[in-house]
Amino acid sequence: MLPDKEDAGVGGGPTSPDVEDPSVGLFREYLRLRTVHPQPDYVAALRFLDRMAAELGLPMKKIEVCLGSVVSIMTWQGTNPNLKSVLLNSHTDVVPVYQEHWKYDAFSAFKDEEGNIYGRGSQDMKCVTIQYIQAVRRLKAEGRKMLRTVHLMFVPDEEVGGHKGMETFVAHPEFQKLNIGFALDEGLANPKNAFTVFYGERNPWWITIHCPGSPGHGSRFVENTAAEKLRQVINSFLDFREMEKHRLNTSQCFTLGDVTTVNMTMVKGGVAYNVIPAEMDVSFDLRIPPTVNLQEFEKVIQRWCKEAGDDVTYDFAQKHMNQNMTSTKESDPWWSAFSQACRELEITLEKEIFPAATDSRFIRAVGIPAIGFSPMNQTPILLHDHNEYLNERVFLKGIDVYTKLIPALANVAATPDEA
């Protein structure tokens, strides 16, 4: 059955072979916008979001956080705007593609016979953006009112190093004015029937170790070379990597987010085959769970450098120290509302620490509880991968999920600190 005329565009209904659900059509339209790095078309995204705000009858505020990077915020005011608000966060940019590895044009939003919609951003995270919008559209069409104000925020530059869009905006005065009490952000697909929910994130440390040494001719056994120190450093880091990999592979209690990953990503040094270099560098990407004592872990790195030899030093290109985690206790009013809504939908939740990094870490860092959640089950994890896709049935089910979650969160009663 097609949606009634007055509900056109609300979505969530069954799909006919001949008539596409309006929400799916909107999703595919958004996927075709080339908001891809290194030159994302943010102008097209802002034009699209302006249209959505007009259709929803919501005011839109735009804040340029840095040159060419605009944070857009739609606001659905609650009946008690003095209470802390609920934030629905998503980002507009997507990572680059290697088109030769894709079955279809990565920006064509091609839908195959099984209803799989291929496109960069189909999982990360343009699907969630449209699901937010369509859930709000449906709730407004039903005449629903929320106790708390709901903000839909669309952030640029999440997919670049440092997440500079959100990182800059959380320090902006306009962010403080939002008076956020709880935030939803992106999660990951789950290949099983369950849905994954993330209550914390690992800290990215991008570190370069500098190994100076004695130079000389390539024909001699020069002592105290940079390469010897480099080897010792590499062995220390990669031995630790194997230990963490073993912990992950031998325990049913651990997920990837519970262990520290270490990957050697760059090596630099040398000028010629017959010249022993005076310095060599090696760089690593580390992702450290918030449960690890970060100060103590840095002392371990210092010891590894000392053991490698004299004058071995290090510096960080990125070093996050955020150990905030969102409560998942039933006594917490936000988690209680979230989990109860999921139970009513007969959704099974698997709680994890996010293995990579999202904008949620900046939200948690300023003391706001945030949950990472993308309603994509029975779906392979394909974010940043070739042939990223999402099935239309899973996408439409996600609108149903948010239609339940948004009012559950936006109608959380005033907490004692708000009374």
Q: What is the DSSP letter of 345?
A: T
**Is 158 a catalytic site residue?**
yes
The token pair that represents 89 in the structure block: 């966060």
Q: CA-CA distance, 278 to 211, in Å (whole number)?
A: 8
Element (H, E) at 166: helix 164-169
HSE, CB side, 13 Å, CA atoms: give it for residue 323: 8
- Do the beta carbons of residue 63 and residue 395 sit within 8 Å? no
Q: What is the DSSP letter of 371?
A: E
Any idea which residue has 């270490």 for tokens? 262
Any idea which residue has 């999402």 for tokens? 390
- Do the beta carbons of residue 84 and residue 369 sit within 8 Å? no
Any idea which residue has 């099984």 for tokens? 114
Nearest Cα neighbor of 33 from 94, 88, 118 is: 94
**Is 159 a catalytic site residue?**
no
- Do the beta carbons of residue 15 and residue 2 sit within 8 Å? no
- Report the b/e string of 70-97 with b at 16+ CB within 10 A: bbbbbbbebeeeebbbbbbbbbbbbbeb
Amino acid sitting at position 13: G
Q: What sign results for the dihedral spanned by CA atoms 296, 301, 304, 306?
A: negative
Single out the catalytic residue among 21, 124, 157, 158. Answer: 158
Q: Which residues pair with 287 in a beta bridge?
A: 204, 261
Task: Look at residue 290 and give its three-state secondary structure.
Answer: coil
> How far is residue 364 CA from its own chain's centroid?
13
Single out the catalytic residue among 93, 157, 159, 185. Answer: 93
Torsion angle, alpha carbons of 212, 215, 219, 222, to 10:
-70
The token pair that represents 406 in the structure block: 């948004």
Active site members? 93, 158
